């Protein structure tokens, strides 16, 4: 059986962390190593995590230098063959998500697997805001503005060993840079599951404001430069435009 390491990074996430944890421990696939990396929360986050400590393999709570430093810390601790990142604002769509992921890895013998994602109302997670249907990857998709939703992106651990983890020089686009590097530059094999795997509460770090969106766009350009890749003339226009259809539920 494939061992799956799931990493949740959090800081003062008392209003959302419990649903995140529950969505992991309720999975019907049992070979899961759950790791929580907390940034020394000052609210009730740690008290909530403590309630589930028997179902969590590793809990760390210490100050860090930001979300991507914390994710890398979790990756360094992970011992699973496959690694997933599930943020404290996110939760798995149902109890069979990890089983579906494992079947895809085993059947298709690939390096990475991804699926679909839904943005939901922060207070009422039954209310759908955006529906991100990823679609099948084809070589060159990134040039056309495509990317998979990072919370639905599962990676074999040897990819991180060979090609590196998250680039901490980036503040909001390290997930984009990592997927661009693995998929477009290093040609890691990839498979798509046409299912909603993760639900994300609105208000993420890179899309919470126009200023942050503009900053993320600049970092997207840097991601291509870092990897020695050449984007298309309209890549950074098409990337946000490609999301317009997600609001048509």
What would the pLDDT profile of 6-51 be if each residue is shown by its tens digit?
999 999 999 999 999 999 999 999 999 999 999 999 999 999 999 9
Q: What is the pLDDT of residue 207?
A: 47
CA-angle at 74, arms to 188 and 183, nearest 5°:
15
Q: Which of 73, 51, 76 is nearest to 62 (CA)?
A: 73
Say if residue 58 is exposed, middle or buried (CB neighbours under 10 Å; 0-12, 13-18, 19+): middle
Would the pLDDT of 204 be above 70?
Answer: no
- The H-or-E segment that residue 127 falls in is none
pTM for the model: 0.91
Within a 10 A sphere around the Cβ of 107, how many other Cβ atoms? 9
pLDDT class of 214 with cuts at 50, 70, 90: low
Pick the CATH number of 4-247 from 1.10.579.10, 3.90.550.10, 3.30.460.80, 3.40.50.2300: 3.90.550.10
Domain ranges of the chain: 4-247
- Which of 108-122, 181-195, 215-229 comes out lowest in average pLDDT? 215-229
């Amino acid at each position: 059986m494939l061992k799956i390491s799931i990493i949740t990074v959090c800081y003062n996430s008392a209003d959302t962390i419990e649903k995140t944890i529950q969505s992991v421990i309720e999975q019907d696939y049992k070979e899961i190593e759950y790791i929580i990396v907390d940034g020394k929360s000052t609210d009730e986050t740690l008290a909530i995590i403590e309630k589930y400590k028997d179902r969590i393999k590793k809990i760390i709570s210490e100050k860090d230098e930001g979300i991507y430093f914390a994710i890398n810390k979790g990756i360094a601790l992970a011992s699973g063959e496959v690694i997933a990142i599930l943020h404290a604002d996110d939760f798995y769509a149902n109890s069979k998500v990890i089983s579906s992921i494992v079947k895809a890895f085993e059947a298709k013998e690939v390096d990475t697997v991804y699926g679909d994602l839904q943005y939901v109302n922060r207070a009422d997670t039954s209310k759908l805001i955006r529906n991100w249907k990823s679609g099948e990857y084809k070589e060159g998709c990134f040039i056309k503005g495509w990317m998979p939703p990072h919370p639905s992106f599962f990676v074999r651990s040897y990819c991180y060993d060979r090609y590196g983890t998250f680039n901490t020089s980036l503040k909001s686009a390290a997930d984009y840079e990592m997927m661009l590097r693995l998929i477009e530059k290093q040609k890691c094999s990839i498979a798509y599951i046409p299912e909603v795997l993760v639900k994300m509460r609105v208000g993420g770090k890179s899309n919470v404001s126009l200023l942050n969106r503009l900053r993320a766009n600049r970092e997207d350009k840097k991601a291509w430069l870092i990897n020695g890749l050449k984007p298309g003339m309209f890549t950074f226009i098409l990337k946000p435009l490609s999301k317009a259809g997600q609001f048509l539920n």
